[in-house]
Every structure is written in C-alpha cells, then in structure tokens.
Amino acid sequence: MYRVSKVLNNNGVIAIDMDENQEYVILGKGVGFGKKVSQRFDKPQECTMYRLAQETERGSAKELVKGIEPEYLEIADAILTEAQKVFGDSIDRGILFPLADHISFAVARIRRNEQISNPLTDDIRVLFHNEFQAASVLRDILQKRMQITIDEHEIGYVALHIHSAIEDEKVSVAMQTARAVRECIEMIEKETGKKIDVISLSYNRLMNHIKYMVARAMTGEDLRINMNEYIESKFPEAYMTAKKVCDMLGKSIGKELDEMEIGYLAMHIERIYSEEIKA
C-alpha cells in the first residue's frame, strides 16, 4: 500500500511505501489522475518506480526532483524504457533524476538559442553505438511534446548518461574515455601521416579496442598473453606507433598501461593500413 505525498501531474506522484517507509517517484499513464495528498492506493500494474533515497552524480535524488518539472521526469523515463529494450535489466534506472535534470537544462539552452557543440559526438556515436541509438528517441519526443528540435550533440550527451547507467560509471568518466580515444586516433594519424577511414570496420574495431584498453587501465586488469616480441619483429612501425600512443594515453588518463597493451594495439594499427593498401 502507498500513500501520496505529492501529486506531480496526471502521470506521476511521489508516494511513500507504507511497508518499507520509503519514498518513491511513481510514473505511469494516469497514475496521478484524481489523486490527493495522503490518499492511499495500491501500486498500479503499468508503472515505473524510482527510489528517492539515493545519491546521484548531481546530488540527492530527493533534492533534484524538487527542481525538475514533472514532464522531464516522464521524458527521461521514456528514454530509459527504450534503453531497457536494448540492454535489459542491466540498466540502472536510478539515473532518471540526473538524466531528467540534464534534459531540462538542454531544453532551456535550446530555447535561448544556445545549442552546444561537442567535438566528441562522432566518437561517442561509434564507441557507444547502442546507447546513442536509444538516446535518439529524445529527438522525436521533444519534437512531439514541445516542438523543439535537438541536434546530435545533445543526443551524444544523453547517450553518455545511458552508458553510465549500464557500466555504473560517472558520465565524466565516459566522456574521458571518448576524449582519450579521440586523442589516440589523432596521434596514430599524425605518426603514420595517413588519415584513417572512419567508416571502415577496422576503424570501429580500433576505437572499441582503445575503449576497452582505457577500461582495463582504469580497473587494473592485465592481459594474459604477451605478444610484444612477435609484433615488434613483424610490424616494427606499427609497434613503435602503438608504444607512443600507449605512453600518451597513460599520461592522459593518469594510469600506467600494462606493457602488453602495446602489441595488441599495434595489431589493430597494422590491420587498418594493410587493408587500405589492399583496397
């Protein structure tokens, strides 16, 4: 049994679970219709629930919800529902509050004609492809509800929020990963003097390899097989480039990379340019 502590709108209420004595935001079609403060009700079948007794990257959920218009909670809920279709129960819906807060600020920026630019948008689209696809539903939602048009830069930031809900890491960490990958790609292009074909399969594999390389460095995970000696003798130029990239990446993220990472990265670098030559 639940008791209403605040009616948000026709589709949302804040209510207390009387058995757990925990406060929740409950969202669903018609959940708040006709409800009054202190009214008791059973949990509706078609609804989503978000516990307010939690801390988020932007502060406590209880404080955040006070400054967020209910409509943005509904929009964030719709995005998380879309993401759950792709990622299943691995997604932490607790990001509802910082996500709704972000969307609220994004809409305010757009209304003031202050649309942002994000130089990492293309990298985010590749690195977090499924997250980006799920976040893209925001475009249709805002157009339909508010007649507001958002660009891909805003979608990229929402994709990072979705990623943080899957990997249990801060949005800032996901952004750091995308930035580190971009720096690595630029360094590889500079060292080799060749532009990488961004639509190639090898490019996608390289970006994802660097993404997981960063993740391993962050968690301290080591590779098991050392291929450095073999790769250095077979592909010396790719190996030297990979070594420079790994040194730069370690300094960029403030973590020392396992030396064995060099050989694996060199293989990806060699594959990209050997495929270009064949083409």
- Give the rounded percent of residues in the chain with a pLDDT score beyond 70: 98
Name the nearest CA neighbour of 97 among 40, 143, 175, 161: 161
Pair 228, 276: CB distance under 8 Å: no
Tell which wins on pLDDT, 69 or 117: 69
Name the nearest CA neighbour of 86 among 136, 52, 38: 136
Cα 24 to Cα 13: distance, rounded to the nearest angstrom:
8
Helix, strand or coil, per DSSP, at residue 166: helix
pLDDT band at 276 (very low <50, low <70, confident <90, very high): low
Residue 133, amino acid: Q
Pair 8, 70: CB distance under 8 Å: yes
Tell which wins on pLDDT, 191 or 138: 138
* pLDDT of res. 219: 83
Q: What is the mean pLDDT of residues 118-131?
A: 88
Q: What is the mean pLDDT of residues 260-275?
A: 88
Tell which wins on pLDDT, 276 or 109: 109
| Count of CB atoms situated within 10 Å of the CB of 195 | 8
Tell which wins on pLDDT, 262 or 43: 262
Q: What would the two tokens of residue 218 be?
A: 């962050």
Prediction pTM value = 0.82
Helix, strand or coil, per DSSP, at residue 201: helix
pLDDT digits (tens, 9 = 90+) for 161-213: 999 888 777 888 888 888 888 888 899 888 888 888 777 787 888 888 988 89
The yes-or-no verdict on residue 61 having pLDDT over 60 is yes
Cα 256 to Cα 254: distance, rounded to the nearest angstrom:
7
- Within 63-117, strands assigned E span none
Name the nearest CA neighbour of 61 among 35, 96, 92: 96
Pair 165, 117: CB distance under 8 Å: no
Cα 91 to Cα 168: distance, rounded to the nearest angstrom:
9
* pLDDT of res. 135: 95
Helix, strand or coil, per DSSP, at residue 192: helix
Rounded (to 5) percent helix, strand, coil in the chain: 60, 10, 30
The yes-or-no verdict on residue 279 having pLDDT over 70 is no
